[in-house]
Each structure stands twice: as structure tokens, then as C-alpha cells.
């Protein structure tokens, strides 16, 4: 378990902060140690921001030095040190280096022994995630040179790790394969082009990553690893220190981690006794007295709430909260049976669960109860419409391929014409004549918007085909919930 840091201790008073190569961060530091699964003792330094100590859980970053450095390298550069003022950090000495030298120095290790640094990474992530100040769902890793490979192998498949920064990273085939399989975790690659090995590996890895958030910053004549930050300052003496590589890379990392918001699983109990599971996400950094808009997400009966995982991230990055509410009888929400065993009348009354979702969001600190929208897919799109009619507090309705049946068409059309909220309809031309007629009715109202696609790929499957659909939906909600309706 993480060793507790004395929250009462304070850093020494800072007399000055030279604008060159040193910054004394406002953080509480503690020496820590832990063991890897193969019994190696790893030593490190855990830091917690002074201003945040004792507050809500924070994002965290694991800092991994190269084979020729030790953990102290990360406090030698002001941009990396500055991370300690806004998030929890753990910088370690990898096995064979610094205080973690242990049984054999790194320089004398075989390649097989060096590959076990990935175990150091895994143990460090477990240690960091267990710290009471840390949000275990928002951890990043910064690694230089050799340590980039163990960082990938030890962290890419860990769901707690959400973002990476590599400085002149060196990667083996296994690390490349893991990067190629990654679609959700953004990676920042920083390399100087005269570092031929690092440039080759970083360029190849960048070409392999499928995360839209990844980027590569290619430098010229700055050397290798974290020392590129010093060389940048030496070369660009006319530039503000905040423009240096360590500052801007640290800001990139923090922006990505904070953009993930605060997400946790919650449950909602309905009036008739269903326990519905949901994911509640709120943007990070909501100040006292500030509020944000929110959207209730309703998945389909064919799958569970995970279909909106990326949409959740896009909402949070646009400063919009969400409640991703599972169907009765789907996923974990099965305390009263399975969806397939419900009667038609029970299924069609599922829209009433929206009221419980509105109540939960409206009571959450930081959420504006007067700026809540709702989105549903397939039958849940109908739920969104009927739920909004029953609850005028809902200010915008997004319908992804609603299910229009002949026996319910008249009721659907009547409900659509009775709501005052703007409607966004996403539909396919191959969805049938009843759906086409419904889309025409939606389009008759100038406050509404219809997005049509060829064919009949439905709802959540269309996210995979059109990467711009989710951002388009979020922009629509942002405009409507901020009061900027279409003229």
C-alpha cells in the first residue's frame, strides 16, 4: 500500500525561481519503496501538490528515467518539476539504477534482465493507484529512451493508464505491437531527428498508433532524451521558459488527463425497484459556484453502456457532464430479470427511467439542472423523446435511428409535434418508409436538425464508420444547452 505523506508538512519557503534550469515545486514529497512481483525493491519519490493536498482525487503521472539516469533527472527540468504542483507524481529509480540498484547494476544486466523493468512499471502503477490522493482512472506515464519500451509493455494494457509521453523512446517488437493495437490512449512522441534509433522507433510507433489524440514533435539538433529540454533552452534563449519542451509536453499531458474528467460508476433505483447501473462523468476543474451542462445517454437493448465510451470522452473534453444509464435487464442492471423476459408494456415504459437520471444529475454539485439534454439510440431514441415530453427540464433531444413501428407511428408523431425542445435526428436512408416519414416531420421544425446517411448501418455502429459523428453530436448539444439555437 502507498505510504502516507504528512499533509501538515510544508515545503521550504521559495526565495526565487531562476528562469533557467530549476524550479522548486509547491508539493509535499515523500520517499517510498515497494516490491515487484519478482522480489526487486524499487525506491522512488511520491509527490502531492500542496494546494490540492486533502482535496478530491487527482490525476497522476509515473516518471521513468533512461538507463543512464536516475529519478533525480525529473526535478532538474522546471517543466517536469512543475507537474508536481497540479497532479500526484511518482518518480522511481528503475532496477539496477540509483537507490534501486539491488543485486546487479543495470550496466551489467543481460537484455532479459533489463526487460524485467516492465515489472517495475507494473508495481509502480499499483503503488501509485493505491495512493489516497490519486484518481486511479487517470494515470499517465512519461518515459525516456530505454524506459519507453517497459512503459508500453507494463502499462498499455492497464486500464488505469490513459496517456503516454515518450522522449527519444526505444521500442522492441512487442512494444510496437501493443502500440499498434491501441485505439484509445493518446501518445506524444518527442524526438530529435539526428537521434537515428530514437527517430526510427518514434516515427514507426507514431505511424502505428490508432489513437486520434496522438502526436509527434520532431526536433532538430536537440540531442537525446530529457536533455533535449536543456538544449532547447540553450538554443532558444530569446523564448520564454514556458515555451520550453518540458513545459509544453507537461501541459499536453495534463490537458489529456484532466480532459478525462471524473468518472465513476453509480446506481439509480427506479420506483418499481430496478437497480440501474450507470457511469457518471463530470468535467475536471469546476470552480466553486460554476456549473456545466449535462447529457443523459441511453444505450440500446442490443448492447450495454460501453457503446458510448468514446462519446463520454468527447462530452467531457467539451466541458459537458454525462450520465450513461443502462437499460433494464441489460448488462449489470438485471436485479429483476433479463430484458428478453420483459413484457412489451414493460419494455415500452422504460422511458420513465429518464426521470431518475434527471434527478441524479440535477442534484450533483457542479451540474446546471436547467441545462440537461438526452440522447438515445434505436428504441432508447423513442425513450428520449417520450421522456423529454414528460420532463420539460430536458432542454435538447438527440435521436439515433429511432424505432418507428406502424402501431406506434401516430403516437410517435404526436409526441414529436408536442415537444418544445430542439431535436437532432440521425438516421439512414435504408431504415424504411416509416422512419423516412418521421424524419420529414422532424425536419419541418426549423429548430430541429436531421443528419442522413446512406444505407442502414445503425446508431452506435455508425460511430465506427464516421469519426466525426460523435463530435458533431456534442457540438449540437453544446450549442443548444448553452442557449445558442439555430436561427
Buried b (16+ CB within 10 A) or exposed e, 155-192: bbebebbbbbbbbbbbbeeebbebbeebeebbbbbbbb
Using one digit for the tens of pLDDT, what is the confidence trace for 318-371? 999 999 999 889 989 999 999 889 888 888 888 889 999 999 999 998 999 999
Amino acid 1: pLDDT:
37
* Mean per-residue pLDDT, 254-272: 92
Cell representation of residue 292: 456545466
Residue 76, judged by CB atoms within 10 A of its CB (0-12, 13-18, 19+), counts as middle
* Mean per-residue pLDDT, 60-85: 92
Rounded alpha-carbon distances, angstroms, from residue 78 to 45, 221, 249:
17, 21, 12
How would you classify residue 96: left for phi > 0, otherwise alpha for psi between -120 and 50, otherwise beta? left
Residue 412 pairs in a beta bridge with: none
Amino acid 423: pLDDT:
97
Query: Is residue 246 a contact partner of residue 78, using CB atoms and an 8 Å limit?
Result: yes
Amino acid 22: pLDDT:
57
Amino acid 12: pLDDT:
40
* Mean per-residue pLDDT, 153-182: 96
Q: What is the DSSP letter of 197?
A: H
Residue 134 pairs in a beta bridge with: 58
Q: What angle do CA 131, 132, 135 make, to 5 degrees?
A: 85
CA dihedral 49, 52, 54, 57 (to 10 degrees): -100
Amino acid 241: pLDDT:
85
**Could you give the 3-state DSSP secondary structure of residue 323?**
strand
Query: Is residue 450 a contact partner of residue 442, using CB atoms and an 8 Å limit?
Result: yes
Using one digit for the tens of pLDDT, what is the confidence trace for 2-56? 344 343 333 343 333 444 455 678 889 999 999 999 999 999 999 999 876 445 7
Question: Dmax of the chain from CA atoms?
Answer: 78
Amino acid 20: pLDDT:
46
484 Cβ partners below 8 Å, 6+ apart? none
Amino acid 23: pLDDT:
67
d(CA 473, CA 476): 5
Helix runs in 266-408, H state only: 309-317, 344-348, 353-362, 379-390
Q: Higher model confidence: residue 486 or residue 194?
A: 194
Amino acid 302: pLDDT:
78
Rounded alpha-carbon distances, angstroms, from residue 408 to 114, 405, 429, 473:
66, 5, 20, 26
Cell representation of residue 53: 493536498
Cell representation of residue 348: 415500452
**% pLDDT > 70, the chain:** 93
Is pLDDT above 90 for 117?
yes
* Mean per-residue pLDDT, 127-138: 95
Amino acid 324: pLDDT:
97
Amino acid 305: pLDDT:
87
**% pLDDT > 90, the chain:** 74
Instruction: Give residue 484's pLDDT band: very low, low, confident or very high (50, 70, 90).
Output: low
Amino acid 212: pLDDT:
86
Using one digit for the tens of pLDDT, what is the confidence trace for 394-438? 999 999 999 898 888 999 999 999 999 999 999 998 888 999 999
Residue 87, judged by CB atoms within 10 A of its CB (0-12, 13-18, 19+), counts as buried
Is pLDDT above 90 for 120?
yes
244 Cβ partners below 8 Å, 6+ apart? 78, 79, 229, 232, 233, 236
**Could you give the 3-state DSSP secondary structure of residue 29?**
strand
Amino acid 51: pLDDT:
73
| Closest of 443, 447, 441 to residue 487, by C-alpha | 447
Using one digit for the tens of pLDDT, what is the confidence trace for 206-221? 999 999 899 999 999 9
**Could you give the 3-state DSSP secondary structure of residue 150?**
helix
Cell representation of residue 382: 423513442
Amino acid at each position: 500500500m502507498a505510504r502516507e505523506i504528512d499533509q501538515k508538512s510544508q515545503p521550504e519557503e521559495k526565495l526565487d525561481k531562476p528562469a533557467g534550469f530549476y524550479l522548486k515545486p509547491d508539493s509535499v514529497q515523500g520517499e517510498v519503496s515497494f516490491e515487484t512481483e519478482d522480489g526487486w525493491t524499487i525506491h522512488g519519490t511520491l509527490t502531492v501538490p500542496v494546494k490540492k493536498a486533502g482535496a478530491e482525487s487527482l490525476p497522476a503521472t509515473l516518471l521513468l528515467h533512461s538507463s543512464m539516469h536516475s529519478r533525480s533527472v525529473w526535478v532538474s527540468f522546471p517543466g517536469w518539476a512543475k507537474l508536481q504542483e497540479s497532479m500526484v507524481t511518482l518518480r522511481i529509480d528503475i532496477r539496477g539504477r540509483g537507490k534501486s540498484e539491488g543485486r546487479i547494476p543495470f550496466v551489467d544486466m543481460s537484455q532479459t534482465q533489463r526487460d524485467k523493468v516492465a515489472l517495475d512499471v507494473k508495481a509502480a502503477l499499483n503503488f501509485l493507484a493505491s495512493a489516497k490522493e490519486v484518481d486511479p482512472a487517470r494515470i499517465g506515464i512519461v518515459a525516456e529512451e530505454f524506459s519507453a519500451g517497459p512503459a508500453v509493455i507494463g502499462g498499455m494494457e492497464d486500464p488505469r493508464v490513459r496517456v503516454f509521453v515518450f522522449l527519444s523512446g526505444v521500442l522492441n517488437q512487442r512494444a510496437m505491437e501493443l502500440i499498434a493495437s491501441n485505439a484509445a490512449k493518446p501518445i506524444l512522441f518527442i524526438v530529435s531527428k539526428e537521434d537515428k534509433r530514437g527517430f526510427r522507433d518514434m516515427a514507426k510507433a507514431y505511424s502505428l498508433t490508432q489513437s486520434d489524440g496522438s502526436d509527434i514533435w520532431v526536433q532538430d539538433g536537440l540531442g537525446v532524451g530529457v536533455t533535449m529540454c536543456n538544449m532547447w533552452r540553450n538554443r532558444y534563449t530569446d523564448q520564454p521558459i514556458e515555451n520550453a519542451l518540458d513545459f509544453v509536453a507537461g501541459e499536453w499531458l495534463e490537458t489529456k488527463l484532466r480532459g478525462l474528467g471524473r468518472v465513476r460508476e453509480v446506481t439509480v433505483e427506479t420506483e418499481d425497484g430496478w437497480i440501474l447501473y450507470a457511469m457518471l462523468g463530470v468535467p475536471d476543474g469546476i470552480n466553486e459556484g460554476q456549473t456545466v451542462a449535462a447529457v443523459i445517454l441511453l444505450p440500446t437493448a442490443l448492447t450495454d453502456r460501453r457503446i458510448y465510451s468514446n462519446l463520454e470522452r468527447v462530452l467531457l473534453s467539451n466541458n459537458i457532464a454525462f450520465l450513461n444509464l443502462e437499460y433494464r435487464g441489460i448488462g449489470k442492471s438485471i436485479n429483476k430479470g433479463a430484458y428478453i423476459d420483459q413484457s412489451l408494456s414493460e419494455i415500452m415504459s422504460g422511458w420513465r427511467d429518464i426521470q431518475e437520471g434527471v434527478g441524479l444529475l440535477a442534484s450533483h454539485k457542479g451540474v446546471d439542472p436547467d441545462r440537461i439534454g438526452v440522447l438515445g439510440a434505436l428504441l432508447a431514441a423513442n425513450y428520449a423523446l417520450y421522456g423529454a415530453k414528460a420532463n420539460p427540464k430536458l432542454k435538447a433531444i438527440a435521436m439515433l435511428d429511432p424505432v418507428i413501428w406502424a402501431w406506434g407511428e401516430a403516437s410517435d408523431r404526436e409526441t414529436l409535434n408536442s415537444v418544445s425542445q430542439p431535436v437532432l435526428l440521425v438516421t439512414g436512408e435504408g431504415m424504411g418508409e416509416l422512419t423516412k416519414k418521421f424524419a420529414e416531420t422532424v425536419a419541418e421544425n426549423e429548430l430541429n436538425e436531421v443528419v442522413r446517411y446512406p444505407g442502414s448501418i445503425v446508431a452506435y455502429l455508425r460511430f465506427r464508420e464516421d469519426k466525426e459523428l460523435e463530435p458533431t453530436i456534442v457540438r449540437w448539444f453544446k450549442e443548444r444547452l448553452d442557449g445558442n439555437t439555430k436561427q
